[in-house]
Structure 1
Amino acid sequence: MRSQSNGSAGPDRSREDSVPGAPARGLGDRRSRLLPLAAVLCVAGLCGSLRAEEPAAEPTAPAPAAAAAMEEEPAALQRPQRPSRLLTRIRDGKPVTLVGYGDSITYGQGVSDAPAESYLNVWARGLRQFFGPDRIRLVNLSDPGVVSWYALKFIESHVAAEDPDLVILQFGGNDSREKVQFDTFCWSVEQMVVRLRATTAAEVVLVVPPMLDKSSDLQIIDALWRLGKKQRVPVADFDRALRDQERDHRGLFPMGGHPNAYSHKVMARELQRACAPLFGLQTPLSVDLRNQTWVALVGQPVTLSAEVGNDTETQTTAKMSLELSQPWGKSLAKELPVAPGKLARVELTAPVPELTDRATQFRLWAYAGAQDGFAFDQKWAIFAPLIACRTAADKGEAAAPDLRLGKAAIASGLEEWQGPEDLSADVRLSLTETSLRVSIRVFDDLLVRDYQQEVPDNDCVEVYFDTRPEADQGKLLYSPDTVLVFLKPPTPAQPDPALVPLSGLPPKFDGIALTGQRERDGYSLQLDVPRSAFLGPDAKLLPRFGFDVALDDCDEPGWRQTQMIWAGYRDNYLDPSRFGVVQLTGEVPPGARRLTVR
């Protein structure tokens, strides 16, 4: 059983080196897609002792048919309401223990900093700010890949052993994927509730996890809601909450990945909504960190703001705080009156800190508390490197490269890198009358194109574009106007380069073209993207667009040895928020960055 105090996600034990903030695996890591799930979890160091005794097959559920089991109990058999130990301890000012028990999402996979970004920890941070830092103890006993019938075995020995005041149960996603019998799932989850009530004084909350759209998923969602009604426990519906928000156009699990930090924030707020009555709280306030965009210089002051809303019919005083994560490390706390049905704003001004060459991300936390409840928001301030794009005539053929990728750009595989002749590149961008031209000169002393099945596991170039309106660029999710194309180099066996989109290209990219040739010490590529791809809603050229370029190097069969990236990180294919930026019009001050709050 995996036990996390405060949700720590454990070490990354993948072979590849990683830059700060990078996830455990990047696109093209075949191990994460081709190994069986149990093997992947063990390689990543995520198998707990729970896995050691796992039988080969699920048991037959010793239960009636699921439909009958989920029926409402007759009134004569319904349990009397018992006093809530959680609420009593909260009102008496005593500490309480919260236990999360579920799958990989509950565990915190999908975020780079689980202690700060997983939904359990985001929610617990709000509780600690309202009740006091020593009043809330959070224990995460979740186990990636676990299914309900197996987790049931440990409900007394692990969960009840913590003497919890509140237990969050999240199961169903793996049950659907592993095709666990529906009756077995229903019986197992209900038995968790029954046994917790028999062995502890804990309140229980059921979570509807994010699901796909299979019929079995819809069946599980319905079963969890009916079980919540039957057992009279709150239900936090993460699936609905995520679908009600703006989300990645590729689905709740894009490219097979887990929900990211943005999705965990949404899930944390849904959990707070479901749990508030158990703590004797209402939801009188709302709080929202405002989306913003600037071009900024190091040392220049920038002002970040949040708005708090009063959703009641009476005036209230909100205790408001706004915090920036380290190393920026600024904070503000103040009280302000908020009229009924109105908004009030709090602002925090801080100078732009020293930054690395890569895109740099800071968490923003906003909290608003009143006498009978609280609200929170979490977003990210991203400083992205910014370069100017000139016309081909302005630059000239002999102009210095706009980007030079070398040792400092290595995102993984530093130990395997043999020097600039092994992998490096010069990149130039220019605007012609018909296209944006990306010219890439790659230095690579051994070209291979088809060692592995997946394109980025071989020698290739990845080029990313975020061509949404600038107010939408920098979001932590893909939309149809966020594009990744793989450029396969010419080789002796295959002399023509090839362009492979990650997914379908939007119509405004029609006419995109790739040419290239082999060089004595590598290869050259020229990618022409129609100017139409960079037009905004007003049919005018966008002032700026998101852009990134990555190099993949494979010198031997089995795996990609090295990856270089200009601005972003190995999860670029999942999260476009840390792309660099290309400015199409006007001058770019030296050292300027684009700052977005999303």
Structure 2
Amino acid sequence: MILMDRSMTTWRALATLYLLSLLAGRAPAAEPPPWLAGLDAGGTLQVLCLGDSISDGWQMTRPEADAYPALLQEMLAARWPAAQVEVVADGQPGGDSTGGLWRLEAHLEAIRPQVVVLQFGGNDKGTGDGLLNLPRYEANLRDLVAMCRAAGARPVLCAPPMHELVLGMPFPTAAARIAAELDVPLANFDRALKQNLVDSRGVFPFGIHPLEYGHARLADVVYPAVREAMGAPLAARLTFEPCNPAAAAAPAPVSLDVRLDNLTPTPVAGRAWVEVAAAGAETALDVAADGAWQGAVEVPLPPPAADARSREFPLRLHADLGSERLLERAVLAEVPLLSSGYGGALAASNLTGQATTWGGVADLAAQVTLTNDANRLTVTVTVQDDVVVPADGPPRGDGIELYLDLRPDGQRGAPPWSDQCLALMVGLGADGAATVT
């Protein structure tokens, strides 16, 4: 029995003993925990999402509803509607795995979670390649896993998303390797975002953190990992292929490629449907007797607002297969941009995203001039816009992005997420004052 009022030193000792048992070959039992059977009868499920600004939903408009911990709670509640499901999000902007050790101790004592999602790595890396910080990060992940297991909680590790567009960077690779070594379910956030980019320039579009579209993708991978940790792996999977709503002029429907797979040898039957919350519409899918379905679904979309500079359409994909209930949150995201690239005048060819949103220079025009003296470089941007959408900067409202690319010839023009490419974001606040990030 583990006493929950132990000190951090005792937790460390318990964690060390647990790691020694793993090295001796005594891996944790994989059978479902005793509390799992009680969820259908109204039991309690406590999940802790412990991490950095990603788990906080930093810079989202409604993180309490749209960040991945909130989506995870919605998905778990859809599977166990009679249970008391609570997902506690403790995301600390700037937090790293070292601070996570102390924060985890407090949560293990206070709420006694049954499952803990451990999401660290971006701030452990810091600036540059961060390789000097990698051994400490790996040691902390092992301690975090051991602390969870010593307290009776089932851990899930997240491979952190990196700014670089390529896969296989050291920190997500280390998280995946440790998850495999310790037999911990893995939610690969890095792969999830890079395979479903909102913006071709990087995992963090506009120099900020994942927004609604990105968090829906994070929920895609963390939910099956949590189910695996609970000893209740998915019996079916509902997925869709993202499409660009700019291909259709709303309110015309777009075609959504949906797939429902039965993951068990037992035939299942039921129903599935797509819900478009903003349009107040549902589209049914005919599910075959074996629970499999694949095809294109025509999804109606509402018209954009008159002053819209971007469109995000939240969808819910449902499946009720008797023993398995699925809820998949999806966001069709479209962010129109006018970009002058690396020099040149704005033209229709510079428009990306919704190809009908720019009506020429009468709609939106900009002029950029650069001057310099011995001490400074001055960039002056003059924007003329017929409709101004104030907010905290792109992509929420009107704004300007400037990049100072210090990379050598042959690398300029590539995705700008690099330590040698500096980004400056200027937005127009609701009070008319400029905000700079």
User: How would you bin the TM-score normalised by the shorter chain?
Assistant: 0.5 to 0.7
Answer yes or no: is 1:337 the counterpart of 2:209: no
Distance change (3 Å), C-alpha of 1:265 and 1:70: farther
In the aligned structure 2, how far is the partner of 1:213 from the partner of 1:348? 34
Aligned partners of 1:289 and 1:366 also within 8 Å: no
Aligned partners of 2:371 and 2:377 also within 8 Å: no
Partner residue of 1:461 out of 383, 401, 416: 383
Aligned partners of 1:84 and 1:203 also within 8 Å: no
Partner residue of 2:249 out of 295, 299, 304: 295
What is the aligned length? Answer: 359
Answer yes or no: is 1:132 the counterpart of 2:54: no
Partner residue of 1:196 out of 145, 148, 156: 148
In the aligned structure 1, how far is the partner of 2:29 from the partner of 2:242? 46
Q: How far did 1:377 drift?
A: 4.2
Q: How far did 1:141 drift?
A: 1.3
Q: How far did 1:163 drift?
A: 1.6
In the aligned structure 1, how far is the partner of 2:124 from the partner of 2:106? 22
Q: How far did 1:241 drift?
A: 2.8
Residue aligned with 2:271, SS: strand
Q: For 1:441-487, what per-residue CA distance to the aligned partner results, in whole angstroms no more than 9, with x for missing partners?
A: 99xxxx9978997977x543399xxxxxxxxxxxx9xxxxxxx8879
In the aligned structure 1, how far is the partner of 2:255 from the partner of 2:45? 34
Distance change (3 Å), C-alpha of 1:441 and 1:227: closer
Residue aligned with 1:266, SS: helix
| Residue number in structure 2 paired with 1:146 | 95
Residue aligned with 1:374, SS: strand
Q: How far did 1:239 drift?
A: 1.6
Aligned partners of 2:42 and 2:82 also within 8 Å: no
| Residue number in structure 1 paired with 2:307 | 357
In the aligned structure 1, how far is the partner of 2:253 from the partner of 2:195? 32
Answer yes or no: is 1:561 the counterpart of 2:428: no
In the aligned structure 2, how far is the partner of 1:373 from the partner of 1:176? 38
Aligned partners of 2:255 and 2:296 also within 8 Å: no
Answer yes or no: is 1:106 the counterpart of 2:60: no
Q: For 1:21-43, what per-residue CA distance to the aligned partner results, in whole angstroms no more than 9, with x for missing partners?
A: xxxxxxxxxxxxxxxxxxxxxxx
Partner residue of 1:162 out of 98, 102, 111: 111
In the aligned structure 2, how far is the partner of 1:205 from the partner of 1:158? 15
Q: How far did 1:105 drift?
A: 0.9
Residue aligned with 1:163, SS: coil
Q: For 1:334-391, what per-residue CA distance to the aligned partner results, in whole angstroms no more than 9, with x for missing partners?
A: 57322655425655557x4683323454422222342335352402376989xxxxxx
Residue aligned with 2:201, SS: coil
Q: How far did 1:166 drift?
A: 0.9
Aligned partners of 1:89 and 1:96 also within 8 Å: no
Distance change (3 Å), C-alpha of 1:460 and 1:90: same
Residue aligned with 2:330, SS: strand
In the aligned structure 2, how far is the partner of 1:87 from the partner of 1:454? 62
Identity %: 21
Answer yes or no: is 1:95 the counterpart of 2:44: yes
Residue aligned with 1:428, SS: coil
Residue aligned with 1:156, SS: helix
Aligned partners of 1:100 and 1:168 also within 8 Å: yes
Q: For 1:289-338, what per-residue CA distance to the aligned partner results, in whole angstroms no more than 9, with x for missing partners?
A: 66343334xxx67577563433557764343243334xx35143757322
Aligned partners of 2:96 and 2:124 also within 8 Å: yes
Residue type at the aligned position of 1:561: A
TM-score, with length taken from structure 2: 0.65
In the aligned structure 1, how far is the partner of 2:110 from the partner of 2:222? 23
Aligned partners of 1:173 and 1:210 also within 8 Å: yes
| Residue number in structure 2 paired with 1:270 | 221
Residue type at the aligned position of 1:236: A
Residue aligned with 1:338, SS: coil
| Residue number in structure 1 paired with 2:24 | 74
Answer yes or no: is 1:310 the counterpart of 2:182: no
User: RMSD of the alignment, in Å?
Assistant: 4.8
Aligned partners of 1:98 and 1:165 also within 8 Å: yes
TM-score, with length taken from structure 1: 0.49
Computing the radius of gyration from Cα coordinates, the structure with the larger value is 1
**Mapping of residues 439-454 of structure 1, within 5 Å:** none
| Residue number in structure 2 paired with 1:43 | none
| Residue number in structure 1 paired with 2:420 | none
Aligned partners of 2:274 and 2:284 also within 8 Å: no
Distance change (3 Å), C-alpha of 1:383 and 1:206: closer
Aligned partners of 1:103 and 1:170 also within 8 Å: yes
Q: How far did 1:82 drift?
A: 7.0
Answer yes or no: is 1:428 the counterpart of 2:379: no
Aligned partners of 2:122 and 2:160 also within 8 Å: yes
Q: Which runs of 5+ in 1 are unaligned?
A: 1-61, 64-68, 386-401, 404-425, 430-437, 464-475, 477-483, 488-502, 507-549, 555-559, 564-569, 572-598
Q: For 1:154-194, what per-residue CA distance to the aligned partner results, in whole angstroms no more than 9, with x for missing partners?
A: 22223441121111001122111165744432332222222
| Residue number in structure 1 paired with 2:7 | none
Q: For 1:508-535, what per-residue CA distance to the aligned partner results, in whole angstroms no more than 9, with x for missing partners?
A: xxxxxxxxxxxxxxxxxxxxxxxxxxxx
| Residue number in structure 2 paired with 1:209 | 160
In the aligned structure 1, how far is the partner of 2:64 from the partner of 2:134? 33
In the aligned structure 1, how far is the partner of 2:52 from the partner of 2:149? 21
In the aligned structure 2, how far is the partner of 1:247 from the partner of 1:70? 43
Aligned partners of 1:301 and 1:349 also within 8 Å: yes
Q: Which runs of 5+ in 2 are unaligned?
A: 1-11, 14-18, 338-357, 386-394, 404-410, 415-424
